[in-house]
Every structure is written in structure tokens, then in C-alpha cells.
A and B are shown apart, each in its own frame.
Chain A
Amino acid sequence: NAGVMQNPRHLVRRRGQEARLRCSPMKGHSHVYWYRQLPEEGLKFMVYLQKENIIDESGMPKERFSAEFPKEGPSILRIQQVVRGDSAAYFCASSPRTSGFTDTQYFGPGTRLTVL
């Protein structure tokens, strides 16, 4: 059973470009969480999605960031007009059940975004 897959693993963008990060959850998992990890920092929650629904986006910046988890296909974290401060590692996690945040979350390897 394949784990959580994220691509690309490394992404370089120039300021003002768009970044699209993809996350394919583990088979049978219908819940996806996105986190951001800045250097020397722990993970910060961004958004929690279920298929076709955003459950909790309390950690998402109000502008330029959006996320979706369509009925078919991977979850997408989209960052428009990237700035240098967006440089970070972005992790996706998935879980199978409906116990919310305390479900065991299985993490992907992350996408390391560098903004030049």
C-alpha cells in the first residue's frame, strides 16, 4: 500500500509566479491536512479537507493561498504570486476516519518550495 505521495518534491519559483503542490492520500483515506514548516520551526497547520469540502482553513493565509480536494484526483495547494516568505517545506497528511484531527495522520515526504 503506497504511502502519501507529494509532488513535486522540490519546486523553485520566481517572485510573482504561481506554485501548485499536489498530494495524493493513502488509498482509502478521504481526509487531507496541509502543513507548512519554516526553518527552525515546527509544523503549522494550514487547512483540513475532505473530498470536495474544506473542513477547517483556520491556518490558511487570507490571501494568495487556496486548497482543494476534488472528488477525483489529488489535493492541490495553490499559492498565487509567491513571495520569498513562502519558501518553506509543505507537508500533506492523510487519515482514514472521521475523528477529526486526532486521527492518526500519515505524512508525505513534503514539497520544498524555494522562491527566488
Chain B
Amino acid sequence: AQSVTQPDIHITVSEGASLELRCNYSYGATPYLFWYVQSPGQGLQLLLKYFSGDTLVQGIKGFEAEFKRSQSSFNLRKPSVHWSDAAEYFCAVGTPAGNTPLVFGKGTRLSVIA
């Protein structure tokens, strides 16, 4: 069964600084990988996903993520953080067959300071 780990529970960055949120997965083959964002009191919104092909994936709101098979990682990055990016970020892993539920990490809470 697949699993996902987000090592950082809480990260604080200054507005305008760069951001990298870590995600490590465990799966025997190439997984399907997702990043979701959850604003306070809201549901989850898909930022980006990786299925195959180019390992650098562009998403919405200026986010990108890079799939690194050798490191079993799918880290989320943004070059310049805005205060509105403060939220909870979840990495999720699925299987190519699409017949098993997505497994979500426990999330990383991002705080943005002036």
C-alpha cells in the first residue's frame, strides 16, 4: 500500500521569500502525486498533479512541484510567497490504476509573516 510523509508540521516564511514544502512517498512503482491546499474553514483545492512525463509540474497560484524518483519525493515550491498563501498544504499519493483511494499526508501548515 502506498503512503506519504510530510516531515514539516508547521513552516513560517516571510512574505516575498521562497517556499519549499516537503513530501516523501512510498510506493513500489511510479505513483500519481497531488498537492492540495486548504484555507481555514474551507475544503481542499487541487494545486497540481503529476501522472507522468515532465517531472517538473506547474500548478495554479504560481506553485510548482518536482517529482524525484531517486528520492521518492514530490516537493512543492513557490519563488515568492504572498500573505494569501497562508494555509494548510496536503500531499497525496494515488496509484496509476486509479482503483485505490488517495492517501493523504498529515499536512504542513504555512504561516506567512510580514
Contact = CB atoms under 8 A, between A and B. Distances in A.
Contacts of B51: 102
Interface stretch (A14-22, A66-74, A77-85, A106-114): A106-114
Contacts of B36: 107
B46 A42 contact: no
A59 interface: yes
A58 B101 contact: yes
A101 B90 contact: no
B99 A40 contact: no
Contacts of B44: 43, 91, 93, 107
B43 A110 contact: yes
Residue in B96, B99, B101, B105 with the greatest tally of chain A CB atoms within 10 Å: B101
Nearest to A47: B101
Interface string A1-21: 000101000000000000000
Contacts, number: 59
Nearest to B44: A107
B45 interface: yes
Contact of A101 (B45, B49, B100, B105): B100
B99 A109 contact: no
B42 A42 contact: no
Interface residue tally on A, bucketed by range: 20 to 34
A45 B90 CA distance: 14
B32 interface: yes
A53 interface: no
A78 to B, nearest CB: 20
Contact of A43 (B32, B49, B104): B104
A48 B101 contact: yes
Interface of B: 32, 36, 41-46, 49, 51, 90, 94-107
4 smallest CB-CB distances across A and B, nearest first, come from A100-B98, A107-B43, A45-B101, A42-B104
